Amino acid sequence: MHRVAQDEKVVPEQVCDAIARGHAVIPLNPAHSNARPVGVGRLFTTKINANLGRSTTRSGKSDELDKLKIALKAGADFVMDLSVGSDLRTIRQGMLDASPVPLGTVPVYETISRLEGDVPVMDPDLLLQVIREQAEQGVDFMTLHAGLLLGHVDLAMRRIMGIVSRGGAIMAEWMKRNQMENPLYTRWDEVLDILVKHDVTVSLGDGLRPGCLADASDEAQFAELSVLGELVQRCRTRGVQVMVEGPGHVPFNQIQMNMERQQEVCDGAPFYVLGPVVTDIAPGYDHITSCIGATAAATYGASLLCYVTPAEHLGLPDGDEVHQGAIAYRIAAHAGDVARGLPGARERDDAMARARLAFDWEAQFALALDPERARARWLKTRACEGAPSDDHCSMCGKEFCAVRTSMRIRDLG
């Protein structure tokens, strides 16, 4: 893949230095035997993650494995299994066996899934047990909502949407019910003991990410971010690789500030963002509203983009929606790399321009982010026109083709 080739141009000494400083991570659990290393950090190309996993009402093991194949074919660099319900270890093992890219989880989901009752109450001891078991199984990185503290919960309740992170809401409810501090925060050293033993990368969850534009960049969000900055340093001291998760729903004009603030507070730790979604009024199109924000995020500080599919806010995505989300985010990641002047990032675009100039359709398809869709759309027009010549397309037609006209102008000298 083009991004892999581009990352291979990075000098090994640069990689070692970035990892030593905590400005890059390579999530790779030795127990995930078939996984390949993937670098995350501003030194590398911007990577994308595909969220997969069943809900309590839809999908199953075979469906999620099918979606995994679709996500990988579309170019996902990471995948996360966010499954809830029963038999999660079996589902996760199937994904680990099938995934050559790093796989992440949110251990509190399995913790709740193992408990009884209509509304299970999180068990801190079980949570640490689940973290240990998942690490032993081969999970490469884990989202842990350790920065959301008891004092932050009331701040979040002032919002329109409150807390929209599943993991964050679980932790917040436990703290309010028990009037005790976040057990992940108070027992962070125990968590680090597990992670360092199995070389699991921690992804510090943004339990207070904004769930609508009105809640963005508020006191609750930045209070949690300050704690995440502290936890970054504690991870580095213990030799645990760490990245930080970020918003969420953010107005476009606030994205740059959010990216730069995280880089400052968290001392350059790789930033892993969901979107951001830049408007709240386009359900069914949130792969578009979010990849607009993701492009800005990649330009100004993010290193890993978590895709959003057209099903966001509406339901569990199907295979086609997984494909659409992954392609949208590959576009955003690449556009961000070009915008920040990453060496070599524009080479593919320049090659595409030359292929278009030459009407070299096969080269255009090979360079496309979604070759199958590009070819299918081209063939659709050719079928309607009875397979015309290859030296123009139906947008302008032969007579009005500006590329052909430019060639004639050049011939005039």
CA distance 342 to 6: 10
- Report the DSSP beta bridge partners of residue 245: 272
* Per-residue pLDDT, 170: 97
- Report the DSSP beta bridge partners of residue 304: 47, 272
Helix (H) or strand (E) holding 13: helix 12-21
Q: Are 106 and 205 in contact (CB under 8 A)?
A: yes
- Report the DSSP beta bridge partners of residue 24: 41
Q: Are 265 and 228 in contact (CB under 8 A)?
A: yes
* Per-residue pLDDT, 61: 63
CA distance 142 to 110: 12
Burial of 85 (0-12, 13-18, 19+ CB in 10 A): middle
Closest CA to 248 of 203, 283, 285, 297: 297
* Per-residue pLDDT, 374: 95
- Whether the upstream peptide bond of residue 22 has omega within 30° of 0, thus cis, is no
pLDDT per residue, tens digit, the chain (413 aa), is 567 668 878 899 999 999 999 999 999 999 999 999 999 999 999 999 999 998 877 656 678 999 999 999 999 999 999 999 999 999 999 999 999 999 999 999 999 999 988 878 899 999 999 999 999 999 999 999 999 999 999 999 999 999 999 999 999 999 999 999 999 999 999 999 999 999 999 999 999 999 999 999 999 999 999 999 999 999 999 999 999 999 999 999 999 999 999 999 999 999 999 999 999 999 999 999 999 999 999 999 999 999 999 999 999 999 999 999 999 999 999 999 999 999 999 999 999 999 999 999 999 999 999 999 999 998 887 766 655 567 777 777 777 888 888 888 888 98
Q: Are 178 and 150 in contact (CB under 8 A)?
A: no
- Report the DSSP beta bridge partners of residue 105: 81, 142
Distance of CA 358 to the CA centre of its chain: 36
Most distant CA pair in the chain: distance in Å?
Answer: 82
CA distance 200 to 358: 48
* Per-residue pLDDT, 390: 75
* Per-residue pLDDT, 386: 58
Copy the structure tokens of residue 392.
């123009």
Q: Using DSSP bridges, classify how beta strands 141-144 and 103-105 pair: parallel, antiparallel or unpaired.
A: parallel
Q: Are 403 and 390 in contact (CB under 8 A)?
A: no
Q: Which amino acid is at 146?
A: A
Closest CA to 42 of 356, 270, 322: 270
CA distance 145 to 189: 14
Which domains are delineated in the chain? Answer: 2-339 (3.20.20.540), 347-411 (no CATH)
Q: Where are the alpha helices (DSSP H) in 100-165?
A: 107-113, 124-137, 150-156
Distances from the Cα of 2 to the Cαs of 6, 8, 45, 330, 368, in angstroms? Answer: 6, 10, 10, 11, 11
CA distance 229 to 225: 6
The contacts of residue 351 (CB under 8 Å, 6+ apart) are 363, 367
CA distance 206 to 309: 20
3-state secondary structure of 25: strand
Closest CA to 250 of 278, 227, 282: 278
Task: Give counts: helices (H), strands (E), the chain.
Answer: 18, 10
- Report the DSSP beta bridge partners of residue 149: none
Copy the structure tokens of residue 110.
């399995």
CA distance 250 to 112: 29
Q: Are 198 and 233 in contact (CB under 8 A)?
A: no
